[in-house]
Structure 1
Amino acid sequence: MATALSNLGIVAKIRGELNKAEDYHRQSLAINKELGHKEGIANQLGNLGIIAEIRGDLDQAETYQQQAIAIAKELGHKETMASILGNLGVLAQIRGYLGKAEEYYRQSLTINEELGHKENTARNLGNLGKIAQSRGDLDKAEKHYQQSLAIDEELAHKEGMAIQLGNLGLIAQTRGDLDQAEAYQRQALAIAKELDRKEGMASGLSNLGNIATTRGNLDKAEEYYRQSLAIGEELGYKENMAIQLGNLGLIAQVRGDLGKAEDYYQRALAIYEELVHKVGMASVFGKLGVIAEIAGDLATSESYFRQALELFQVVSAKPQVEQARRSLQRVREKLGR
C-alpha cells in the first residue's frame, strides 16, 4: 500500500499536480512510520523534499533531504543514499554552491555506477553537465549530456531523454547553432507533452522563447514565455516563474519600454531572493544595471553591477564574472573613477 501510494505521488508530480503528489507521499510516509519501515520513511522524506524544492521552499526541502540521508546512512542503504545525495546536489546548485553540488553529484554517481543503477547514473551525468555549463565548459557539458542521453535511450526512459535533449539544445544555442538548438528543444517539448510532464513543458517553451528572442522574433518569444509562466504559476514552480519574468523583462527592454522591463526584473529578483538563488539574483542585478545605465543613473548602475559581480564570484561562474567585471569597469569609467 505504501509503495503504491508513493508511485501515485511520483506520477502526480510528473504531471505537475504537486498538492496531490504531496498528499500521496504523506500517506505513504505515515504507513511506513506505522510499520517502522525506515527505508520507506527515507524515500518518502526524499520525495517530499523534491516537492518542497519545486515550490521554492529550499530550507524545508533540505530539512527533508537531510533527515532522509541520515536514515539511509544508518541503514547502510546505498541506493537511497545515492538518490538523496543527488537531491542535495540539486539544492546546492540552485543556491549557487557549484562546488558543493558537484561533490554531491559525484558521490551519487559513484554509488549508482557501483550498483549498476543506470537511470540514476544518467541523471547524475546530466547534473554534472549543468555544473560544467554553468562554469562555461561547453565541451565537458555536452559530453556529460550525450552520455546521459545514450543511457536514457538505452532504457527508453523518455523523461530523461527530454531533459537531456533540452540541455543539448542549450549548448547548441550558446554556440550559435539556432537550427540545431530548435530541433533539440522541439524534440524535448514533444516528449514532455506526450508524458503530460508540465515542468518539462514549461522548460521547453522557455527555451524555444529564448531561440525566438535570439532570432529577433519578439512576438513569438513573448508568446512562449507567457505560456511557460502560466504553467509555472499553475505548479507554484517559483524558479520557472522568476526565469520567465526575467525573459519578459528582456523583451520589454529590447522594445524600449524600460519601465516595464524594470518592473519584470524586480519581480524576478524578489522571487530569486526568496529562494536564495544566487545565480538568478546575480543575473537580474546585471540586467537592472544595464537598465540604470541606459537611463543615465550611473551610481545605481554601478551598485547593481557590483552586486552581480560579487554573487557571480561566490558561485565561481567564470564567464559571468568577466562580463560583470567589464560592465562595472565601463560604468566606473563613465563616472570618472
Structure 2
Amino acid sequence: MARFRKAQYWIFVPGDAGSVAAVPHEVLVKRAHLLSVLGRWEKAESDLLKCRTPGGIPGQAEFSSQVLLELAGIRINQGRLGEARELIGDYESGGLDSAPERKMNLTNLKGKLAFYQGDLTAAKCGFRRVMELAESSGQQIHKAQAGLNLGNISVMEGDMEAAESFYRKALTISEELQDVSGIGMALGGLGILAAERGEHQRALECFRRDLDIGLRLGQAQTVAQTHGNIGQLLADMGRFHEAMDSYQEQLEITRRIGDAPGTFNALYCLASCASELGKPAEASDCLRRAADHGIEWSMATEAAKALLDLAGIQVEAGETEAARATVAELLALGEEVRDRSLIERALSLKGRIG
C-alpha cells in the first residue's frame, strides 16, 4: 500500500490484488506479494530478484512482466518513483497488458505513481479506468480498491460528500467479500472525513479499529500510517505529548521497513509538535533530520519544506548566519522543488535576513 495526505492526514491507497501465472517460480512471487503487503519489502524484493534474469524466463514473458509489476509496486511504496517508472516502462514494452487482470494492475500502479507525483488528473483517469474494468469483469475487490483511490482524490479536492460515498461503497463491498484489509482501509478513510469535520471521537474510533486490523494482519505500513493519523488527530486536539508518542511509533516502523515518505512525515510532524510545546531545539533537530532524509531520497519538495521551517526557527532564535545557510541550501535545490511557493517564500526570507 501506498499513502497520501490531505490536510495533514494520511490517506491509504491500496496496491494491486493480482495473481501470478502458474510457473515454476510461482511460489516465490506469491510469497513476495504477501511480504510486500506486510511491509517486508526487502525480503519481497529478494524473492522477486531470484525470479528476474537479464533475458527474462525463457517461454515465460508474461511471468517475467508480473515480476516487474511487483517490483514497481514496492518502489512506489518506498518513494523511489524514478525506479518505479522505469519498471513500469519495462513492463509496457513487453506488450502484455491486454488481459483485464493485468490491465487493471498496470493501470492501478500508474494511477498510484501519478498520485504520488501530484498529478491528480492522471491519477483520477487511471483509477476510473480500473473501476470500469473491474465492473465489466466482475472483479469486486478491484472495484472496492478503485473506489478507495477515487475517494482519496475526492478528499484532496475537498469534495467530502463524494469521498464519503466512495469510502462507504468500498466498505460495503469489503464487508460482503469479508476482506478485512479492505475494511480497515475504508475505516481509515472514514476516519479522515470525521477528523476533517471536527468529529474527533468518531475519527479516533475509526483509526483505532483500522489500527487493530493492521496489527492483527501484520501489515506494518498500515500500522505506521494509522499511528500517523492518530498522531495528527491528537495534535489537532491539542494533545501534543500523546501525538509525539504516536509519531514516534510511526517513525520506528517506517525506518524499519524502508518507507522513505513515511519517515519524512513522522520527522516533520514530530518537529511540529515540539514547536507547539515550546521546544525549538528539538524541533530544529527533527527538521534537520527530515531535510537530510528528503535530500537523500530525492524528495526535494519535502526537503525544501523542512528547510524553510528550520530557517524560520533559526531567524526567531537570532541565528542569522545559520538561517542564511539554510535558505541557501533550500534554493540550491532549484527546479527539483515542485512547489514553487516554497522557493518564493525562501527568497522573501533571504531578503529579510540579508
Shorter-chain TM-score category? 0.7 to 0.9
Judged with a 3 Å threshold, the aligned counterparts in structure 2 of structure 1 residues 275 and 108 are, in CA distance, closer, same or farther, namely: same
1:306-325 to 2 correspondences below 5 Å: 306-317=288-299, 320-325=302-307
Greater CA deviation, 309-318 or 38-47?
Answer: 309-318
Q: State whether structure 2 residue 33 is matched by structure 1 residue 50.
A: yes
CA distance in 2, matches of 1:77, 1:150: 29
Q: State whether structure 2 residue 233 is matched by structure 1 residue 251.
A: yes
Aligned to 1:137: 119
Report how far residue 114 of structure 1 moved: 3.7
Q: State whether structure 2 residue 61 is matched by structure 1 residue 78.
A: yes
1:179 to 141, 154, 161: 161
Aligned to 1:20: none
Aligned to 1:239: 221
Report how far residue 39 of structure 1 moved: 5.7
Is contact 2:224-2:250 (8 Å) kept? yes
1:265-280 to 2 correspondences below 5 Å: 265-280=247-262
Aligned to 2:349: none
CA distance in 2, matches of 1:235, 1:266: 21
Report how far residue 274 of structure 1 moved: 0.7
CA deviation string 1:193-242 (max 9, x = no partner): 11111221111111111111111111111011011111101100110011
1:219 to 190, 201, 210: 201
CA distance in 1, matches of 2:226, 2:103: 30
Is contact 2:228-2:250 (8 Å) kept? yes
CA distance in 2, matches of 1:295, 1:66: 46
CA distance in 2, matches of 1:295, 1:328: 16
Aligned to 1:295: 277
Judged with a 3 Å threshold, the aligned counterparts in structure 2 of structure 1 residues 315 and 148 are, in CA distance, closer, same or farther, namely: farther
SS at match of 2:183: helix
Structure 1 stretches lacking a partner, 5+ long: 1-24, 26-37
Is contact 1:43-1:68 (8 Å) kept? no
Instruction: Provide the TM-score with structure 2 as the length reference.
Output: 0.79
1:102-121 to 2 correspondences below 5 Å: 102-111=85-94, 113-114=95-96, 116-121=98-103
AA of the residue aligned to 1:183? S
CA distance in 2, matches of 1:67, 1:39: 16
CA distance in 2, matches of 1:174, 1:313: 25
Report how far residue 318 of structure 1 moved: 6.1
CA distance in 1, matches of 2:151, 2:305: 23
Report how far residue 79 of structure 1 moved: 1.5
Greater CA deviation, 306-315 or 174-183?
Answer: 306-315
Is contact 1:222-1:248 (8 Å) kept? yes
CA distance in 2, matches of 1:163, 1:335: 48
CA distance in 2, matches of 1:159, 1:328: 44
Judged with a 3 Å threshold, the aligned counterparts in structure 2 of structure 1 residues 320 and 137 are, in CA distance, closer, same or farther, namely: farther
Is contact 1:69-1:80 (8 Å) kept? no
Aligned to 1:197: 179
Which has the larger share of helix? 1
CA distance in 2, matches of 1:181, 1:142: 13
Backbone CA RMSD of aligned residues:
2.2
Structure 2 stretches lacking a partner, 5+ long: 1-18, 324-354
SS at match of 2:24: helix
Is contact 2:124-2:150 (8 Å) kept? yes
CA distance in 2, matches of 1:215, 1:72: 53
| Number of aligned residue pairs | 300
SS at match of 1:74: coil
After TM superposition, what 4+ stretches of structure 1 lie above 6 angstroms from structure 2?
Answer: none
AA of the residue aligned to 1:207? G
CA distance in 2, matches of 1:302, 1:75: 54
AA of the residue aligned to 1:251? L
CA deviation string 1:93-140 (max 9, x = no partner): 2222111112222333443x5452221111111111111111211112
CA distance in 2, matches of 1:228, 1:88: 26
Q: State whether structure 2 residue 94 is matched by structure 1 residue 94.
A: no
CA distance in 2, matches of 1:135, 1:53: 21
